[in-house]
Amino acid sequence: MKKQIDNVNQLDVASAVFESIHTVMHLYRSQQLAAVRAGEQGITHMESRVLSFFSHRQGSTLSDLVQHSGRDKAQMTRLIRRLRDDGFLEAQEDALDRRNIRLQLSPAGALLHRQIKESAAPVLQAAIKGLSAEQSRELVALLTIVKDNLER
């Protein structure tokens, strides 16, 4: 007799995994947002995410941000314009292709990003409390597999 694959239970497991991921991210974002508001940095959650993106990827373009975030280009354009107007992002023409504008944090943007990270650090520590270093590494490895599966 041919072995049957139990798709129903696999779907239930997949649903449970993603429900857990969703719940964790919702709790993290709401607590992170509360921490940012408590620090009174005066920016939105999405603006803080844009600052974080450019802190890790100095010299990236709007297109890089759109591809990474999966957000609408017009929305990201408005966010970048606001962050540039507020002095948190600096723009520079690409030396090889003048149509591209490379963005990076200004000194004020770098300071603000550091303040946001510091205010959110207790949330991160609370989230992994009780996990050993090995468990944390294993969790990162497992989530990387899930991410890679979705990017295929």
pLDDT value for 139:
95
Global pTM? 0.71
Rounded CA separation 76/87 (Å): 16
- Contact between 24 and 124 (Cβ < 8 Å): no
**Looking at residue 56, what is its pLDDT?**
95
Amino acid 78: pLDDT = 94
Contact 51, 113 (CB under 8 A): yes
Cβ 51 vs Cβ 112: under 8 Å: yes
pLDDT (tens digit, 0 to 9) for every residue of the chain, 152 residues total? 555 665 555 668 889 999 999 999 899 888 877 776 655 667 888 898 899 999 999 999 999 999 998 899 999 999 999 999 999 999 998 888 888 899 999 999 999 999 888 888 898 899 999 999 999 999 999 999 999 998 88
Residue 143's contacts (CB-CB under 8 Å, 6 or more residues apart) are 21
Q: Please give the span between the terminal C-alpha atoms of the chain, in angstroms, as a whole number.
A: 34
**Domain with residues 2-151, CATH architecture:** Orthogonal Bundle (1.10)
100-116 tens-digit pLDDT: 899 999 999 999 999 88
